[in-house]
Structure 1
């Protein structure tokens, strides 16, 4: 059975094009033009992935993503016409797996869909429990703790922390961390890693002090 992709886009012409290319690529599609309708279809169809426009009537894409993330880790690719860093950071902070800036090539969007689905299907924790200082990661339970406090991390943030914790004390380059995030697709750049690190430091409290920047190279998690 082909995977179902939920297209959430209020511009009919763009939604038509995305639907055409996704169907040619072998996917089943569902479509929503508003935030509330997107949530209804997500619950009814349980898609394998959501293509989610940022600017929607009635409820914007960020709020849709927040509500989905409160209940599910379904992959989300954000579609946005705005390239400001604030949108990128907020989008990543709610757990978006990737983002595409308009105008985009529909073929590129289909390629991103395939890549994100492949990462989701192949994702498997290397080790169930990892420790770095006061930080504890239980990748099997999708849980990160600073001491006894459970941290509110996204899937992407847990992947990044896992890559750093597996090499605790060693420097990981941005390109290595981007690879750990699965961000090797054309159009995804290393600023994605910086955005995740910024969000993690905000969420990690005292444990964030152990997440160090190594200027010109990347990041290190103190052991």
Structure 2
């Protein structure tokens, strides 16, 4: 018997994943597994799990980054796992939006109990819809949808995230560095011209010349979402 609750387990240790899967499936949960951060985000967006169990030490994109990316688009429960027990890790995890925290090695029965407790708390939280609406423009970060003049547009995730961030702060100017930090993450080491490329692509999609809103370049500073 299943209870229709889907849980994403993210850990690069195959044995830990299988142990957690075994216990959770006995409890009736549906379990999906990812062994690295980028795959976890891909699965998260396609499968829409009800809860994420997230290891901190992952190859490539670590658990902090995954948590940060998930929190940009969803408020579903996240339980962090780590082999470390320092207060700093706990505080950072909670500040990034984790709902609970377990230190390895852990008792699997305790993990199950914490999952149930977190899910109970979550049931009483109102769902947060991340959406900004302007005349002839709807940017929904919860569903990753963009509508321009009532028509749904195909758009890569990062372009949508950039547009959502700017449109959430109308008429406020952001430097390229600020946009890199807010949209790509503070530890992104890419070229600031990445922002220029994404803005150019957004303008091509939006065709905003006749609208009350526009993506404007503030010369020598950066960009803003201008609303007249």
Question: TM-score if structure 1 supplies the norm length?
Answer: 0.55
Q: 2:49 aligns with which of 47, 50, 54?
A: 47
CA separation in 2, counterparts of 1:88 and 1:111? Answer: 19
Q: Which has the higher contact order (CA 8 A, sep 6+)?
A: 1
Partner of 1:189: none
Partner of 2:11: 9
User: Secondary structure of 1:39's partner?
Assistant: helix
Partner of 2:81: 79
User: Secondary structure of 1:56's partner?
Assistant: coil
CA separation in 2, counterparts of 1:28 and 1:79? Answer: 19
Partner of 2:37: 35
Matches within 5 A, 1:1-223: 1-123=3-125
CA separation in 2, counterparts of 1:18 and 1:84? Answer: 23
CA separation in 2, counterparts of 1:35 and 1:9? Answer: 9
Q: Which runs of 5+ in 2 are unaligned?
A: 127-228
Shift, 1:89, TM fit: 1.1
For residues 52-95 of structure 1, what are the alpha-carbon distances to aligned partners after superposition, in whole Å with 9 as ceiling and x for unaligned?
Answer: 00100011000000000011101000001101111111101101
Shift, 1:40, TM fit: 0.4
CA separation in 2, counterparts of 1:118 and 1:109? Answer: 14
User: Secondary structure of 1:73's partner?
Assistant: coil
For residues 171-207 of structure 1, what are the alpha-carbon distances to aligned partners after superposition, in whole Å with 9 as ceiling and x for unaligned?
Answer: xxxxxxxxxxxxxxxxxxxxxxxxxxxxxxxxxxxxx
CA separation in 1, counterparts of 2:29 and 2:4? Answer: 5
Structure 1 stretches (4+) deviating beyond 2 angstroms? none
User: Secondary structure of 1:77's partner?
Assistant: strand
CA separation in 2, counterparts of 1:83 and 1:97? Answer: 16
CA separation in 2, counterparts of 1:100 and 1:87? Answer: 11
Aligned residues: 125
CA separation in 2, counterparts of 1:67 and 1:26? Answer: 28
Q: CA RMSD in A?
A: 1.4
Shift, 1:123, TM fit: 3.3
User: Secondary structure of 2:60's partner?
Assistant: coil
Q: Which runs of 5+ in 1 are unaligned?
A: 125-223
